[in-house]
Structures are given as C-alpha cells and as structure tokens.
C-alpha cells in the first residue's frame, strides 16, 4: 500500500496489467475479512468506485470490471464477491452478477465442444484460467444467491464437466495452459506451461462446487491436483518443499503477470486445506511462508518472486503474491 498504490488511478502500479490490481484488491479484502480489521476499507471502496467507470477501448464500453478478456473480468468479479462477503452490501454482488453474464456470452460449443474464449476481441483461445475462474465465479454466486437462482450451479457444473473432459488436465494431474486445435477441428492439450495459478484456481472452483452440492468427488479431484503439486516428488512446481514457478530461477525473472501466480495457488490451496480433515496442506504453506520471510525478503519488507530467495527485485506481483501466502495462513 505504501509504495505501490496510486490513489488517483485507484490501482496498484497502474503502468502494468489491470488484472493484477484485482488480485491486490482481493488481498486487502481477504485480510480484512479474516482479521476483522477495517484498515483498508476506504481504499477498497475507492478502488471499486473508480473501476466501475466505463472505458471506451473495451468491448461494450467496459466498466463494472468488464475487460477485453474473460480471465481479467473473472479475477475482478471474485474480488467483488469477497467484498460482498465482508460488507454484505448487495451492490458488490450485483457487479459480480453482471460480470458472470458478460463472461458467459463467450461460451460456445462451436469450438472444442464448449468452454469460454479467453480473448474477447478475437474470440480466440480456450484456456485453463478463464474457464477455471468462470467455474469459481458461477459456483460462488450460486452459494450466495441460493435458492433464488440455480442457473449458476447448472453452468458451473457443466463448465467443470467440460473442463475435466477437455484434456487440459494432463496425465500427471497438472493443468496445462490451454487447448490447441488441429486443422480438422480436433482440440487437444497444448502442453503449455503448468503455471501454479492454473493449479490453484481450479482448487477454489472445486471447493465452491463441493459447498454447493456436498459431493465429495469435487474434493477428491481437488486433492488429486493439489497433491500433484505439493507431494509428488517429480513435480516441476515444488523444489525442496518450496513452491516454484518455472520462471523463478536463473538470470531472467518472471514477467509481471507470472510474478503473482504462486500467491494465487496459496490462496486456494488454503481454501481446500480448510475443508478437508486434518488441514493437510497447512504445513506446506507454513514452510513456504517461513522461507519467503527468512530468505526472500529485504530489509524494508519487499519480497522476491522466488520464495527460496535471495531477494533480487520486487514488484506489485511479488508483493501481492507474498501477501496472499501470508493471508492464507490466517
């Protein structure tokens, strides 16, 4: 907050991607929800009010957190749902309802037999994150609007069934980035990078589906994916017990988007751990938090993208990611 928030813009680091501010907003709202503090309430309200304004270069004028991609829209909608959980103010839930309607316009069975497009302008790319965020959003809306509207549960379950059958979950139970298509229209796993956030958001989606239905199969599937990251020894995403993005090491740092991914995974891994017997993933999260605090932090409280350290550089993504990790343990 002290170094990265631009009050005039109502965004953190406004020179970089808009969607990162959605996750930063969710961080401060999560913090207030879990602790009972209202320290950042005026900032949260200010941010939301400014971002409601229409923006002419986005489809349909933008506004109300709609963006030119379904994944950017989804991440903001989820921050608004958390704001509703905190305040019980229907205006925030109503914005999320608008965002769900907006996203669902870009579901089509014409390509890959279902799924949302990520790229709204070009109606292109059926990928993991957009569809995971949609399942999470629709199930979250159902759990808050029940029993007035069962449409959200119907859509969330159908989207999960499509996602699970799409091939994006590979033989190692990890989620690749999206789908590719052959010349004759057959869709298949594109073998894109198994980014940590693609493993994380689906955990949150499956937990919300479990809350909606009581069906333990959703938790079983979530644990299979979580274990592929946390426990499986040949995972590329955990090294020496520390969550590791494929771009964490070496001379080049992850880009602005990728720097926030691990925190998103931590947020939803904690959601899963909190609803299964024994809180089985808490030890993993504690280990990562200790490593980040002791090895990846500089003297002024900034964090590196790698939670193994050493500290090299900090951005909105690295800060929001570290905040998500620590908040996950509250």
Question: Would you state the pLDDT for residue 180?
Answer: 97
Helix (H, G, I), strand (E, B) or coil at 262: helix
Helix (H, G, I), strand (E, B) or coil at 12: strand
Question: Would you state the pLDDT for residue 210?
Answer: 98
Q: 211-268 pLDDT, tens per residue?
A: 999 999 999 999 999 999 999 866 789 999 999 998 887 656 799 999 999 999 999 9
- In this predicted structure, the answer to whether residue 149 has a pLDDT above a threshold of 90 is no
Tell me the two tokens of residue 11. Answer: 């965004």
DSSP states of 198-257 as a string?
HHHHHHHHHHHHHHHH--HHHHHHHHHHHHHHHT-TT-SSEETTEE--TTSSSSSPP-TT
DSSP states of 85-124 as a string?
HHH--HHHHHHHHHHHHHHHTTB-STTTTS-B-SBTTTTB
Q: 166-200 pLDDT, tens per residue?
A: 999 999 999 999 999 999 999 999 999 999 999 99
CB contact at 8 A, 220 and 227: no
> Is residue 271 classed exposed, middle or buried when 0-12, 13-18 and 19+ CB atoms within 10 A define those classes?
buried
What is the percentage of the chain residues whose pLDDT exceeds 70? 95
Contacts of 295 (CB under 8 A, 6+ apart): 307, 308, 309, 310
Q: 38-91 pLDDT, tens per residue?
A: 999 999 999 999 877 655 544 454 455 677 899 999 999 999 999 999 999 999
Question: Would you state the pLDDT for residue 235?
Answer: 75
CA distance 287 to 325: 11
CA distance 181 to 112: 8
Question: Would you state the pLDDT for residue 61?
Answer: 47
Alpha carbon of residue 119 to chain centroid = 17
Angle, alpha carbons 142-92-32 (nearest 5°): 100
User: What is the phi/psi pair of residue 77, to 5°?
Assistant: -60, -40
What's the pLDDT band for 110 if we cut at 50, 70, 90?
Answer: very high
Give the gyration radius of the chain's Cα atoms.
19
Query: Interhelix angle for 90-104 vs 70-87, to 10°?
Result: 160
CB contact at 8 A, 126 and 159: no
- In this predicted structure, the answer to whether residue 324 has a pLDDT above a threshold of 90 is yes
Residue 83 to residues 38, 94, 144, 233, Cα–Cα distance (Å): 12, 11, 12, 38
Mean pLDDT of 27-35: 98
3-state DSSP helix/strand/coil percent for the chain, to nearest 5? 55, 10, 40
């Amino acid at each position: 907050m002290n170094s990265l928030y631009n009050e005039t813009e109502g965004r953190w680091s406004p020179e970089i991607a808009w969607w990162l501010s959605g996750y930063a907003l969710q961080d401060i709202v999560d913090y207030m929800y879990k602790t009972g503090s209202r320290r950042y309430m005026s900032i949260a309200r200010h941010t939301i009010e400014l971002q409601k304004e229409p923006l002419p270069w986005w489809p349909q004028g933008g506004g109300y957190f709609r963006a030119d991609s379904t994944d950017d829209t989804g991440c903001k909608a989820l921050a608004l749902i958390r704001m509703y959980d905190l305040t019980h103010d229907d205006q925030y839930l109503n914005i999320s309802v608008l965002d769900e309607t907006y996203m669902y316009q870009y579901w089509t069975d014409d390509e890959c037999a279902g799924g949302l497009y990520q790229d709204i302008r070009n109606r292109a790319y059926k990928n993991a994150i957009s569809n995971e965020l949609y399942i999470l959003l629709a199930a979250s809306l159902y759990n808050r609007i029940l029993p007035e509207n069962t449409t959200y549960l119907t859509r969330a379950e159908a989207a999960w069934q499509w996602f699970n059958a799409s091939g994006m979950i590979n033989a190692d139970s990890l989620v690749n980035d999206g789908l590719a298509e052959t010349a004759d229209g057959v869709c298949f796993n594109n073998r894109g990078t198994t980014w940590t956030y693609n493993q994380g958001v689906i955990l949150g989606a499956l937990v919300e589906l479990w809350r909606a239905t009581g069906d333990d199969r959703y938790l079983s599937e979530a644990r299979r994916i979580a274990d592929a990251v946390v426990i499986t020894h040949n995972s590329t995403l955990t090294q020496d017990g520390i969550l590791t993005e494929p771009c964490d090491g070496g001379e080049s740092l992850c880009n602005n988007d990728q720097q926030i991914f691990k925190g998103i995974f931590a947020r939803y891994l904690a959601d899963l751990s909190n609803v299964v017997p024994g809180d089985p993933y808490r030890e993993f999260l504690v280990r990562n938090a200790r490593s980040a605090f002791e090895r990846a932090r500089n003297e002024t409280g900034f964090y590196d993208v790698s939670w193994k350290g050493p500290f090299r550089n900090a951005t909105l993504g690295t800060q929001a990611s570290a905040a998500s990790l620590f908040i996950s343990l509250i």
